[in-house]
Amino acid sequence: MEKGCKIADAMNTYNLALSIVKSKGYKIFVLPHADEENFDFWAIKGTRQFAGGDPLRLLGLISIWENTGDDWQKHMPEEDIYDQILSRAFPDSIKDFDQLTNEDFNELVSDYKLFFHEILNKKFPEDPTRQEMFDLIDSFYKE
């Protein structure tokens, strides 16, 4: 049986992220902001420069470039995935779920079943209605 992994954005991942950036051949610098309380991490290699507010963001930006290249902005998805995820997490009303196709609603249920089981370790209702899903998600995020 596969062990699995759970990793989260936390200070205990910063050193590893910086080590990975260095292993890719980047030089790493810190540039303070004008307020002298905050700073950005910069990674430079050749003509490539990346800046992030913490080592995980820095590594994430390098990963974006590695997957898309110098013309990374041309690879923007047409759909607003960020907005879609937030809309699913914070529905305005039951109408948001009523507008979903059966296929999209079933995918939403399947996704939240996974989330409740794997992340929250909580029981998930069997075959919830659209109203039950709205109530569940609406109440969950208000807790």
| Angle (deg, nearest 10), helices 130-140 and 102-115 | 40
- Report pTM: 0.80
The H-or-E segment that residue 31 falls in is: strand 27-32
Q: What is the CA radius of gyration of the chain?
A: 20
Per-residue pLDDT of the chain (143 residues; tens, 9 = 90+): 788 888 999 999 999 999 999 999 999 999 988 887 789 999 999 999 999 999 999 999 999 999 999 999 999 998 999 998 998 888 999 999 999 999 999 999 999 999 999 988 889 999 999 999 999 998 877 66
The H-or-E segment that residue 126 falls in is: none
CB proximity list for 140: less than 8 A, separation 6 or greater: none
CB 90 within 8 A of CB 141: yes
